[in-house]
Amino acid sequence: MPEISMSRTGSSDSVPQAWLPFEELVDAHWNWQQTRDEASEAAYRAKLAAFEEECGEIVDSYWSTSVPSAVALTERRRRGRSSELRFHRVSDWATKNEPEIATLLHKCDELTIKIARILRSPTRDIVMRLVVSSATHLLSLVDGRAEHRRHDDKDNALKHERQQLEEAERYYDEVGQRQAQLVYLRGMIGGGFVIALLALAVWGIGAFMSQRIVLAIVLGAAGAVLSVMSRMTDQKQGFELDYELGRGPLVVFGIFRPLLGAAFGLVLYAAIASGIVRLQLNDSGTNTYFYALLSFAAGWSERLAKDVLDAADTTVGAAIKAKDTPASALAKPSPGEAVARPGS
pLDDT (tens digit per residue) in 63-109: 998 889 999 999 988 777 778 889 999 988 888 888 899 999 999 99
Q: Are residues 185 and 143 in the same domain?
A: no
Residues 238 and 142 in one domain: no
pLDDT tens-digit map of 135-171 = 999 998 888 655 545 566 778 888 899 999 999 999 9
Can you tell me the distance from the alpha carbon of 21 to that of 5, in angstroms, rounded to the nearest whole number?
7
Residue range 280-309: mean pLDDT, rounded: 70
297 and 227, same domain (yes or no): yes
Whether residue 207 sits in one domain with residue 248? yes
199 with 134, same domain: the answer is: no
C-alpha span between 219 and 339 (Å, rounded): 59
Question: What is the residue-averaged pLDDT of the chain?
Answer: 77
Mean pLDDT of 121-140: 89
Residue 337 resides in a domain: no
Q: State pLDDT tens for residues 12-68.
A: 333 333 445 899 999 999 999 998 899 999 999 999 999 998 888 999 999 998 889
Per-residue pLDDT, 58: 92
Does 183 lie in the same domain as 135? Answer: no
* 338 domain-assigned: no
The number of distinct structural domains making up the chain is: 2
**Coil vs helix vs strand at 32:** helix
**Predicted pLDDT of residue 144:** 62
Judged by phi (left if over 0) then psi (alpha if -120 to 50, else beta), residue 36 lies in left
Same domain for 45 and 136, yes or no, is: yes
Identify the pLDDT of residue 151.
60
More confident residue, 86 or 271: 86
- Position 206 scores a pLDDT of 64
Neighbour count for residue 308 (Cβ, 10 Å): 21
Question: Could you tell me the residue range of the domain that residue 60 belongs to?
Answer: 6-148
In a domain, 330, yes or no: no
Domain assignment of residue 160, yes or no: no
Out of 204-218, 264-278, 306-320, least confident range: 306-320
Confirm whether 340 is domain-assigned. no
DSSP annotation string for 123-188: HHHHHHHHHHHHHHHHHHHTSGGGTTS-HHHHHHHHHHHHHHHHHHHHHHHHHHHHHHHHHHHHHH
Query: What end-to-end distance do the CA atoms of the chain give, in Å?
Result: 91
* 109-123, 160-174, 201-215, 261-275: least confidently modelled range: 201-215
Is 331 within the bounds of a domain? no
> Do residues 218 and 101 share a domain?
no
Task: Pick the last residue of a domain from 132, 148, 164.
Answer: 148
Residue 189 sits in the same domain as residue 299: yes
Whether residue 168 is contained in a domain is answered as: no
In-domain check, residue 251: yes
- Does this model's pTM top 0.75? My answer is no
C-alpha dist (Å) from residue 258 to 153, 239, 303: 56, 16, 16
Quick one: pLDDT at residue 10? 33
Q: Quick one: average pLDDT of 198-210?
A: 73
**Residue 335 Cα distances to 174, 328, 329, 330, 342, angstroms:** 74, 17, 17, 16, 20
Q: How high is the pLDDT of residue 295?
A: 83
Q: Please tell me the predicted confidence (pLDDT) of residue 338.
A: 40
Instruction: Give yes or no: residues 130 and 15 share one domain.
Output: yes
What tens digit of pLDDT does each residue of 311-322 get? Answer: 555 655 555 555
Residues 234 and 99 in one domain: no
The three-state secondary structure class of 204 is helix
pLDDT at 131: 92
| pLDDT above 90 as % of the chain | 20
Number of other residues whose CB lies within 10 A of the CB of residue 189: 16
189 and 316, same structural domain? yes
